[in-house]
Amino acid sequence: MNIITNLYRLIITINGKKKMSKKYTSVHYNEYLALDKILGAQNLRSAELGEPAHDEMFFIIVHQVYELWFKQIIHELKLVANTLSQDPVPEYQLGEALAKLTRVHEIQKLLIDQIKVLETLTPLDFLDFRNYLIPASGFQSFQFRKVEAMLGLPSQQRITYGNYDYKSPFNEDQQKELLELENSMSMFDILEKWLERTPFLKFNDFKFSEKYVEAVSNMTERERQAILDTEYITEKEKEGRIKMLDMQQEYIENAMDKEKHNEMIKNGEVRLSFKATKAALLINLYRDKPILRIPYSILDKIVEIDESFIMWRFRHSQMVLRMLGRKMGTGGSSGHGYLKKTADEHHIFRDLHNVSTLLIPRSELPELPKELEDSLGYIYKG
């Protein structure tokens, strides 16, 4: 009887463990990372065609690593977009959004540094297998095109080659996904709407833009007088400096004029809305206020991400110049020339970079009303 009872208990225990183990079952490193699939995904075309080239393995792995990092960037951008799309955005989630943007930027550093690794492939070694790649090209990276669309690169701003739509290398489903991304809210759009919701642009009788323009005017007048009073430069030099000073003041005043700003948007000179531009300026000027620290850091990180993609494109173009000279790219483009143009033109958050033009010294900042000052800090009223 005891044997039967113990056997029954053992069966019950085993069955119970089977039910519980589905969630907490052990897993092997190799299976968890699907290493058989990953490590078996390097198929050398040169070997398949009977002329194996040693460095083709390296070339494939470098580009597969790029694609894995693109996948992670897409994953992070989705979270940030979902966070900033909320109205209002829960303040405690801003820190996580900033952390994910920081991760994207750190990944970008790897993408740029990886070009140094790729450059260990000499031009002559590349020629051992380059002809086997035609017409494959980095232009056919669907994930990178997704990253561009998610960030907000407008179709009309894209540099194309052969008058082909950038979506043309992809299958029907991929083209549909890219089109949906183009027609949905990009990171640029989401950031713009988030900035427009900044609550401090008008606070009771305090109007930020008016006080700011007044501060710029007073600062400019003092600088003008200092130029006129100095004895260390010629009258001609004084005239030149005052002219530059007047141009600077005019630019700032135009930037703070809604009608003129909207005209610049219409002419394609800027993209960011008037209200969002004012908010970005306010956040940059008063970044030292505790409540604005994270919003400023988010804007700063977006600028760094934009800058890093420009740097990556430029480094890529220089690497192609080194590897191929003026040869045509495997995808049919002009190679280095095309890539260099994309580095110059595919600049998504240019308006955030240009906020620096509007900055003035901390000593010149308009004084904030005490109630507003308190609301931007951590003031406990017990």
* Token pair for 123: 């031009």
Q: Where are the domains of the chain?
A: 55-375
Q: Which conformational region is residue 198 in: left (phi greater than 0), alpha (psi within -120 to 50 degrees), or beta?
A: beta
pLDDT computed for residue 85 by the predictor: 96
Query: What is d(CA 349, CA 328) in angstroms, rounded to the nearest whole number?
Result: 30
Q: Per-residue b/e over 275-314, b at no fewer than 16 CB within 10 Å? A: bbbbbbbbbbbbeebeebeebbbbbbbbbbbbebbbbbbb
Query: What is d(CA 139, CA 120) in angstroms, rounded to the nearest whole number?
Result: 22
Query: What is d(CA 40, CA 272) in angstroms, rounded to the nearest whole number?
Result: 46
Is 246 in contact with 223 (CB distance < 8 Å)? no
Query: What is d(CA 272, CA 286) in angstroms, rounded to the nearest whole number?
Result: 20
**Amino acid identity for residue 101 in this structure:** L
Is 220 in contact with 245 (CB distance < 8 Å)? yes
Residues whose CB falls within 8 Å of the CB of residue 381, separated by 6 or more in sequence, listed in order: none
**Amino acid identity for residue 201 in this structure:** L
Query: What is d(CA 101, CA 296) in angstroms, rounded to the nearest whole number?
Result: 13
pLDDT computed for residue 110 by the predictor: 97
Strands 202-203 and 206-207, by their bridges, are: antiparallel
For 242-256, the pLDDT digits (tens) are 999 999 888 888 888
The residue with tokens 């604005």 is 292
SS (H, E, C) the chain: CHHHHHHHHHHHHHHHHHHHHHHHCCCCHHHHCCHHHHHCCCCCHHHHCCCCCCCHHHHHHHHHHHHHHHHHHHHHHHHHHHHHCCCCCCHHHHHHHHHHHHHHHHHHHHHHHHHHHHCCCCHHHHHCCHHHCCCCCHHHCHHHHHHHHHHCCCHHHCCCCCCCCCCCCCCHHHHHHHHHHHCCCCHHHHHHHHHHCCCCCEECCEEHHHHHHHHHHHHHHHHHHHHHHCCCCCHHHHHHHHHHHHHHHHHHHHHCCHHHHHHHHHCCCCCCCHHHHHHHHHHHHCCCCHHHHHHHHHHHHHHHHHHHHHHHHHHHHHHHHHHHCCCCCCCCCCCHHHHHHHHHHCCCCHHHHHHHHHCCCHHHCCCCCHHHHHHCCCCCCC
Tens of each residue's pLDDT in the chain, 382 residues: 566 656 556 555 555 555 555 667 788 999 999 999 999 999 999 999 999 999 999 999 999 999 999 999 999 999 999 999 999 999 889 999 999 999 999 999 999 999 999 999 999 999 999 988 888 788 889 999 999 999 999 988 887 766 778 898 899 999 999 999 999 999 999 999 999 998 877 776 778 888 899 999 999 999 999 999 998 999 999 999 999 999 988 888 888 899 999 999 999 999 999 999 999 999 999 999 999 999 999 999 999 999 999 999 999 888 888 888 766 555 445 567 777 878 778 889 999 999 999 999 999 998 888 888 888 877 655 5
* Token pair for 321: 């110049």
Query: What is d(CA 316, CA 308) in angstroms, rounded to the nearest whole number?
Result: 12
Q: Of the CATH numbers 1.10.3720.10, 1.10.260.40, 2.40.128.120, 1.20.58.480, which one belongs to the domain with range 55-375?
A: 1.20.58.480
pLDDT computed for residue 347 by the predictor: 87
For 259-302, the pLDDT digits (tens) are 999 999 999 999 999 999 999 999 999 999 999 999 999 999 99
pLDDT computed for residue 254 by the predictor: 86
Give the angle 356-359-360 at the CA atoms, nearest 5°: 150
pLDDT computed for residue 3 by the predictor: 64
* Token pair for 140: 């056919």
pLDDT computed for residue 373 by the predictor: 84
